[in-house]
Structure 1
Amino acid sequence: MKALYGLTIATIIAFCTIQCYWLYNRFKDARNGYENNLYDTVLEVMHEDYKIRRATQTPDISILTSSKMKVSSNADQAGFLTMTFEVYVVDRNTYTINDTTDMNNITRIYEQEKPEGITKYSFEVDNPPNERDAYDALERFQVDVRSPFNAAKIDSLLNKRDVEAKAITVEQADSMVWSVSRTDHPSKWHPEITVSYPYDIFEGEVVNVTVAVGMSPVIMKMLDTLLISLVLSVLLITCLIVQIATIRKQRKLEKLRQDFIHIMIHELKRPISTLKMCVSFMRNDKLMQDKESKEAIISDSYHELDNLSSYFSKLRDLTFNDVTEIPLTLSAFNLQDAIEECIEKLTIPSGKSATIDVVSHADIMITADRMHLINMLSNLLENALKYSKNKVRVEISYCESNGESIIISVKDNGFGIPKSECRYVFDKFFRSQTIVDKNILGMGLGLAYVKLLVLAHKGSIEVESEKGLGTVFTIKLPQ
């Protein structure tokens, strides 16, 4: 069993470890996919903003450009391309621009006068990725001149796509930045990504958009996987635990069965031995002629037969699966008379002295099965005598409760029951470890039998006890 427990626990731990590892990798894949979607969304927003700014009409200015290309033929820099761009931004309110042939005039005016209505920009691009990228950078610059970049517009476009930007900042790079870059911030609880987008390549202006990678969208994306995995894991672990619990229960029942048989043999052996001895005495004619001896032998025989009958009655009633199946013969009778009958039938063990007090002497009529009620009280009184020291004191009290039920209490000064064991005292075959240590024989059926009969009457029974301070049993029977 220990090996089985260990193997089961190791299996559960291994399964949970592998499952968690698999789910963690699945979560990482889902998060990476979500991060890629966020990255693509930011790029779409930047391209959309560029198209909007590019389509913006600016009638107040004109932009004239010229470009030159030079390819180095030196051995050290063979194929090295240098492109030079000159850009003139002209205020149309001051100068009239008809077509691109006015470039020479604007150049001449700027060189001679440098007026306020004309602004010149010169850019030298050394070895760009290709010519197309260089001209694309020129167009980006022109777009930014006509319609300057606005971070608030980017934030608005992101919000339309249900993406919240944590920060949108513009920075000036030391050199021209030609391509978009992405930086991941893999925090466990607050992961983020930053997309760096060059909106003006010639002037090295880059916008950094930082977006939080929310956990909720990632979890929702893998919600089906999580639920299926959780259900299967719980089901498998529950099955393993139930199997172990079932095996433990079967072992416990087997031990209870063996203990019960062992105790029952010892309990039944005593009355049978006594009866056998009485029968052997009856065969002695001289002994049977002594009237006193004859009465003693017959009395002992009746007493032991009563013990056997009591054992078999308990076993019979305890075999009922439902307390409602126990046949009850209800009648109204005097409760005090029934209690006195129980006391009269009580046999005090040798070597002990007992004082039994009936606190209440009220004339109360009770409706119950008289035989079963006497059996209940007799069992409680026998336990009080059996599980006590040499001087036993028992107190019986009873009263009516609001005319709806009758309460009977049996209090003793016995060994008591540890509070941790009180909830088990009515279980079949349960015996307190304190009693077992004192080598007091018993089958653990008495209190289970009492509770069974109380429940058959639709009543209740409670116990209050503390080790070394005695026990109080309280029966409540509805009327």
Structure 2
Amino acid sequence: MKLPFKLIAILVFFSLLGTFVYQAYWLTGLYSTMKHDLEQNIMEAMRTSDYNEMMLRVEGLQKDNENHGEVKVSAGYDSDTGKSFVNSTTTIDRKDTIGKASKEEFFSEEEPRAALHTDGGLDLILRNKSTMLELATYFQQGLHSGLDIISDPDVAVYDSLLSHQLLDKGIDLPYHLEYLYSGFKPDSSHVFTDTIASICTPGYEPSPKAAQYNYAFDIHSNKVYRLTMEPINKLVLRQMSGILATSFVILIILSFSFWFLIRTILRQKTLEEMKSDFTNNITHELKTPIAVAYAANDALLNFNLAEDKKQREKYLCICQEQLQRLSGLVEQILSMSMERRKTFRLHPENFHLHDLFPTLIEQHKLKADKPVEIILDIEPEDLTITADRTHFSNILSNLIDNAIKYSPEKAEIVIRCRKTETGQVEISVSDHGTGIPADKQPLVFDKFYRVPTGNVHNTKGYGLGLFYVKTMVEKHNGNVTVKSEPGKGSTFTIRV
């Protein structure tokens, strides 16, 4: 079952469109996922940096403990009272002028967050990664509340740690870091926010589109690290550059493949039409000489014309001409089929061009149905060529035959033979015929192709002659070109 070309084109178009849409949907989903992961990485970098900064402070306090006494910080949940607590104990060296030890203990009436959602017990918490992270964050905030009483957060250290954490996660954007404290006025009428510290990448000024990431590191979310940086869209696209490039190449290959498929189908369709035209044309051309020869032979046999010598010779000449025409037609068709065979071989020999042209010119003058004038210009006169004599003769014969057929009332043809600087032999056949439009010139060497002439069919042809010329010239390791202008004629040039 043959599908109409329009249906095939529509199916190909929608297949390609579906591929593009699916690829765009997949890339959009991937972009959203990578952007979300990158934002999570930023928050995780802030949390990890805060933990590391806190541990560095603890190490510093431990060193002070060795020199001056004892420092303890603890946070947790009192099962007896049902309250969460943060306490700290500081023992100062006896040499200290104040010489006092202090102990502070803070209790919260709030039920501890770590125990709020534990219907399934501790085992459920440990199996839930998000709950585990929440629990770890809560413990970290609890330790902060106790540690910050003794030692304030070091924003410079936190900035250094955060910079390394971001770089480790592939985030190399400039940023602005702030340490903020939020609280209420004594009468609880207004919320205020103080900027305790601010650090910025040198030369960076946040734009109006800059994104902010807030990390609250105390239990009541009063103390916040605020990170301001430009939108991470470009960074996500940069990380996706390999995938985007691969997808683009795949889409280009698919587009080219579909284009090539459509082009091949169109060429096959055109070829089918040309073959159909060739079959119709060649059938008519084969029938004509057969019918004429049959009529002449019938006249000789059935009308006693064989007894009249003059009439007999006339009808025998008609038969001979038609049989020659038929033979030439069959020979041309056979040549087209033979040149494709693997067993096809040329038999090159060296011969003078001056010995080849006179016979060809005379033959074409005799069989032409119009006046023919052919000018032959060979320089030097003893110019030789190495080629298969039979096929090369057919090449030149086809070019001369075309020049005569497509010339008006009188055919004026110029044949020039020269030797180029590269050592090749150049042969050009020029006429003053109808010419070939510029857009049709690249197609004249295609098999079965004939230049469209509308409804005018004065010139007989099969679309094989120039295809044969091009094929045989290429088998001689040469090339053939055409220069033409409608109404002024054409020039075919062979270089071998």
Structure-2-length-normalised TM-score: 0.70
Equivalent in 249, 259, 282 of residue 277 of structure 2: 259
Q: Greater CA deviation, 308-317 or 205-214?
A: 205-214
Residue 384 of structure 1 and its aligned partner are, at CA, apart by 0.8
Verify: 1:194 aligned to 2:215, yes or no.
no
* Aligned equivalents of 2:59, 2:218: Cα separation in 1: 17
* One of 149, 154, 164 as aligned partner of 2:155: 149
> Is 1:389 the counterpart of 2:412 in the alignment?
no
Contact 1:332 1:365 survives alignment (8 Å) = yes
Who is 2:298 aligned against? Answer: 280
Judging changes above 3 Å, is the alpha-carbon distance between structure 1 residues 239 and 392 closer, same or farther for their aligned structure 2 residues? closer
| Aligned with 1:167 (options 168, 175, 181) | 175
Aligned residue number for residue 108 of structure 1: none
Aligned partner of 1:16 among 6, 17, 20 = 20
* C-alpha contact (below 8 Å) 1:34/1:218 kept by paired residues: no
* Distance of 2:475 and 2:154 partners within structure 1: 91
**In 2: Cα distance, 1:49 partner to 1:416 partner:** 88
Shift of 1:341: 0.8
Contact 2:375 2:414 in 1 (8 A): yes
Change in Cα spacing, 1:192 to 1:38, as seen in structure 2 (3 Å) is farther
Which residue does the alignment assign to 1:289?
Answer: 308
Aligned to 1:68: none
Taking only the aligned residue pairs, the percentage that are identical comes to 24
Listed as ranges, the matches of 1:325-364 within 5 Å are: 325-347=343-365, 352-360=370-378, 362-364=381-383
- Which piece of structure 1 moves more, 372-381 or 42-51? 372-381
- Contact persistence 1:422–1:463 (CA under 8 A): yes
The amino acid of 1:19's aligned partner reads Q
For the residues of structure 2 that align with 1:462 and 1:429, how far apart are their CA atoms? 18
Q: Distance in 1 between matches of 2:174 and 2:93?
A: 38
Uncovered stretches (5+) of structure 2, i.e. residues with no partner = 72-82, 115-137, 185-190, 192-207
Alignment of 1:7-406 (within 5 A): 7-57=11-61, 95-100=97-102, 138-145=145-152, 148-150=154-156, 152-158=159-165, 161-162=168-169, 163-164=171-172, 166-170=174-178, 172-175=180-183, 194-198=212-216, 204-210=222-228, 213=232, 214-215=235-236, 218-219=239-240, 247-283=265-301, 284-286=303-305, 289-291=308-310, 293-320=311-338, 322=340, 325-347=343-365, 352-360=370-378, 362-401=381-420, 404-406=423-425
Q: Aligned in 2, Cα 1:175/1:348: closer, same or farther, shift over 3 Å?
A: farther
- Of 411-420 and 281-290, deviating more is 281-290
**Preserved contact between residue 462 and residue 475 of structure 1 (Cα < 8 Å):** yes
Separation in 2, partners of 1:95, 1:340: 132
Q: Please tell me whether the aligned partners of residues 155 and 164 of structure 1 are also in contact (alpha carbons under 8 angstroms).
A: no
More displaced 10-residue stretch of structure 1: 149-158 or 420-429: 149-158
For the residues of structure 2 that align with 1:196 and 1:252, how far apart are their CA atoms? Answer: 68
Query: How many residues in Structure 1 have an aligned counterpart in Structure 2?
Result: 422
Corresponding residue for residue 467 of structure 2: 448
Aligned to 2:120: none
- TM-score normalised by structure 1 residue count: 0.72
Q: CA deviation at 1:300?
A: 3.0
Deviation of residue 52 (structure 1)? 1.4
C-alpha deviation, 1:349, in angstroms: 7.5
Aligned to 2:450: 431
Change (3 A) 1:366 1:100: closer
How far, CA to CA, are the matches of 1:437 and 1:300 in structure 2? 28
Equivalent residue number for residue 196 of structure 2: none
Which of 1, 7, 12 is 1:3 aligned to?
Answer: 7
Alpha-carbon shift at residue 446 of structure 1 (Å): 1.0
**Does the C-alpha gap of structure 1 residues 226 and 425 become closer, same or farther in structure 2, counting only changes over 3 Å?**
closer
Task: After superposition, give the CA deviation of every residue in 1:259-299 in whole Å (9 maximum; x if it has no partner).
Answer: 111010122222222212322343344575243x4444333
Helix, strand or coil: the match of 1:433?
Answer: coil
Query: How far apart, in 2, do the equivalents of 1:457 and 1:173 lie?
Result: 90
Query: Closer, same or farther in 2 for the Cα pair 1:355/1:251, shift >3 Å?
Result: same
For residues 131 and 299 of structure 1, the distance between their equivalents in structure 2, rounded to whole angstroms, comes to 118
Measured at CA, do residues 232 and 456 of structure 1 come closer, stay the same or move farther in structure 2, by a change above 3 Å?
closer
Distance, in Å, in 2 between the alignment partners of 1:259 and 1:377 is: 26
Q: Could you tell me how far 1:94 is from its partner in structure 2?
A: 8.2
In 2 relative to 1, CA 243–167 (structure 1 residues): closer, same or farther, beyond 3 Å?
Answer: closer
Return 300-309 or 42-51, whichever deviates more. Answer: 300-309
How far apart are residue 325 of structure 1 and its match?
4.0
Distance 1:369 1:299, change over 3 A: farther
Alpha-carbon deviations, 1:371-406, whole Å to 9, x = none?
Answer: 333322221111111112213211011123359432
Q: 1:312 to 1:418 in 2, by over 3 A?
A: same
Alpha-carbon deviation of 1:331?
4.0
- SS for the counterpart of 2:323 is helix
Structure 1: gaps (5+ residues): 65-80, 104-123, 178-189
Greater mean deviation of Cα atoms: 41-50 or 453-462: 453-462
| Aligned equivalents of 2:418, 2:38: Cα separation in 1 | 75
1:417 partnered with 2:420: no
After superposition, the C-alpha distances for 1:215-242 in whole angstroms (9 at most, x for unaligned) are 267538x95x996x78987887777666
Change (3 A) 1:174 1:330: closer
- 1:420-462 Cα offsets, whole Å, 9 max, x none, are 2222212210111247755533110111122233234333222
The alpha-carbon deviation at position 466 of structure 1 amounts to: 2.3
